[in-house]
Amino acid sequence: MKKVLSAVVAVALFAAGGGASCCAECAAEIPAAPLLPGGNPDPTVCRVGDEYYIATSSFSLSPGLPVYRSTDMVNWEIVSHAWRESWPCKTPDDGIWAPTLRHHDGVFYLTVTWHDGFKKAENYLLTARNPAGPWSKPMKIDAKSDIDGSLFFDGEDAWYLSNQQPSKQKWRGHCQIWMQRIDLETGRLFGDRHVLTDGFGEGAAFAEGPHIYKIGGKYLLLHAQGGTAWGHTEIALVSDCVTGPYTHVAGNPVLTAKDRGRNSPLQAFGHADLVQMPDGEWRAVFLGMRMTDEGKKCPLGRETFSCLVDLDGDGLPTRFRRDELIAGDWNDPAATRYSLLDRPGDPVRYVKVRNIAARVDYPDKPFRFCAALAAVAPRRATSSVSQTSRSPPACAKRFRLMANGHSK
């Protein structure tokens, strides 16, 4: 019987040498490596007791919405795929975008956008008592064509956040972050819709990926901005009332890599979510890219990174310790932790990676975000992902796709 594995996890498995693992003695120190390497964009995180859970976008891959579990924020395992439905996908950019994972009153909630080639977007809500499943069938939320939905629980009130393009756009990419109450039983939005922000700075483009947190009696709003490539940033705002008005914190953007220049080996930091550790410290998860060829290529696509977040003068976690990541030598071929090559003791000898949507060495499309397909050829090795072919080799029938353990 063949094992059919999710491409999202396949690349993560081999890019990190079998997973983002760490020895017991250093488990408390979360490494500066990607937390979930290879094709794990738009991360969302929550903690329940001593366990952490992350979900990421899966786009056109099926099953979709991988849910990861950890007890130390270092070692992660997939426990389920929340989205088991089939859907038509015309391109690899279609499908499942930007989930938000939350836990409230014993129930896990996942909001997600299903997108059809930048032409139509639908938003859905899934629930489970156990993140390992079973997950409910997706229930449609009446949020029209808005994207990047999020949930926020404030006492007995459940709020839905998303972005929208105003009817009269003031500039290219003009988007607004808004919130409205939601009936979690039906997916119906009701009450007044409150517009919270148009983004940071004049001409702010593509405000998206919003999350709200209540900390010390204040409401902290995070959202991404600038598009999920070189200009990607994370913006923070604060308010005394959940519906605003929100004001920008000092030091925006609170997270970005664009100031490092386009030759930086790390790019596109943004789309962040926060989680509080048992000791009270805050940590963020967010997407980023490891670049090659002087910032022109990103063979593993958008990955999940993490860093500590310090409190600002108002006691809010807005000071992202980005420099923990910047210091790494991300493209050192001797760094076996990130190697796609064979290493002694690996359960599988050879890994071949090919890009589903566009070859990773297209110089004119360095930010073509697509998942990669990792496969095992028993007698065939590939020394570099930039040398991969458009289609599987003749031995494709012998391929075993690795990682999530889903059998077919």
Q: How far is CA 133 from CA 6, 86, 106, 199, 404, in A?
A: 17, 18, 13, 36, 14
Q: Which pLDDT belongs to residue 294?
A: 76
Instruction: Decide: 14 and 402 in contact? Cβ < 8 Å.
Output: yes
Closest CA to 306 of 282, 330, 337: 282
Catalytic (active site) residue 314 = no
**Is the per-residue pLDDT at 281 higher than 70?**
yes
Closest CA to 92 of 53, 118, 120: 118
Query: Dihedral (C-alpha) 13, 16, 18, 24: value to the nearest 10 degrees?
Result: -130
DSSP conformation letters of 331-372: T-TT-GGG--S--TT-SSS--EEEESSS-TT-TT-TT----E
Tell me the C-alpha distance between 85 and 335, whole Å.
Answer: 39
For residue 25 the two structure tokens come to: 């003695």
Catalytic (active site) residue 42 = yes
Compute the average pLDDT of residues 100-116: 95
3-state secondary structure of 252: coil
Q: What is the pTM assigned to this prediction?
A: 0.77
**Is the per-residue pLDDT at 284 higher than 80?**
yes
Tell me the C-alpha distance between 222 and 230, whole Å.
Answer: 19
Looking from the CA of 252 toward its CB, the CA atoms found within 13 Å total 19
Confidence of residue 117 (pLDDT cuts 50, 70, 90): low
Amino acid at 54: I
Q: How far is CA 381 from CA 10, 16, 299, 351, 372, in A?
A: 16, 18, 17, 6, 16
Tell me the C-alpha distance between 262 and 275, whole Å.
Answer: 30
Looking from the CA of 157 toward its CB, the CA atoms found within 13 Å total 14
pLDDT digits (tens, 9 = 90+) for 320-332: 999 877 655 444 4
Q: How far is CA 58 from CA 14, 145, 243, 353, in A?
A: 18, 19, 31, 17
**Is the per-residue pLDDT at 92 higher than 50?**
yes
Compute the average pLDDT of residues 145-155: 92
For residue 161 the two structure tokens come to: 């956040």
Q: Which pLDDT belongs to residue 214?
A: 98
Q: Which pLDDT belongs to residue 391?
A: 33
CA triple 264-250-165, angle to 5 deg:
75
Sheet with strand 44-48: strands edge to edge? 44-48, 51-55, 64-70, 77-83
Catalytic residue among 208, 234, 273, 361: 208
Compute the average pLDDT of residues 376-395: 27
Residue listed under structure tokens 């060829």: 293
| Average pLDDT in the chain | 76
For residue 350 the two structure tokens come to: 């050879």
Q: Which pLDDT belongs to residue 327?
A: 58
Class (C level, CATH) for 34-326: mainly beta
**Is the per-residue pLDDT at 234 higher than 50?**
yes
* Max CA distance (Å), the chain: 62
For residue 100 the two structure tokens come to: 């938000």
Sheet with strand 139-141: strands edge to edge? 95-104, 107-116, 120-128, 139-141
User: Dihedral of CA 375/379/385/390: which sign?
Assistant: negative
Q: Which pLDDT belongs to residue 158?
A: 98
